[in-house]
Amino acid sequence: MKFSREVLDFWEKVKNEKGVKGAFTDAYGLGDTPELKQELLNLVLEGKKRASTSLVKEGELEGWPEPEVGQYNIILDGCDKPAAVIKTLSVRRCSFSDVDEEHAYWEGEDERTLESYLREHTKYYTRRGEALGFKFTPDMEVILDRFELVYPDI
């Protein structure tokens, strides 16, 4: 993957300040619009969001690397500028309909309930499916990952 000079410089700054060794895997925004990317980044920075969900089909079509325990990723803000670094703590797969309340809570969005998680993620994946040419169904496989915020400190 090719990253902007701004992203690479941000990573060097984080490595120097935090003593992080190695490389980062990817740089991305959490969401598909500038507003959603900023909203979700704010939840990460507030400490509410410590999990994310990736639809396997979306990742395959977009060419995203699959999350792995121990990897670092740079989170971009609503203007696609580097704003935070996270480290993946755990990864598991299941069908979307089998996501549990604990994961929904750590997604940190809305009321942090399974009901709001399913409602809002169904809207998101339906929209993404339409954009990418597939029909979202609740039996589709997702990747659930938990992460910690490495930079900045909160």
Element (H, E) at 82: strand 82-95
Report the CATH number that the domain containing residue 107 is assigned in CATH: 3.10.400.10
Q: Can you give the residue range of the structural domain that contains 100?
A: 5-139
Examine residue 154 and state whether it is found in any structural domain, yes or no: no
pLDDT tens, position by position, for the chain (154 residues)? Answer: 789 999 999 999 999 999 999 899 999 999 999 999 999 999 999 999 999 999 999 999 999 999 999 999 999 999 999 999 999 999 999 999 999 999 999 999 989 999 999 999 999 999 999 999 999 999 999 999 999 999 997 6
Examine residue 147 and state whether it is found in any structural domain, yes or no: no
Examine residue 114 and state whether it is found in any structural domain, yes or no: yes
Examine residue 113 and state whether it is found in any structural domain, yes or no: yes
Given this model, what pLDDT does residue 153 score?
78
Examine residue 82 and state whether it is found in any structural domain, yes or no: yes
Classify burial at 128, counting beta carbons within 10 Å of its beta carbon; exposed 0-12, middle 13-18, buried 19 or more. middle
Query: How many domains would you assign to the chain?
Result: 1
Examine residue 52 and state whether it is found in any structural domain, yes or no: yes
Stated pTM of the model:
0.94
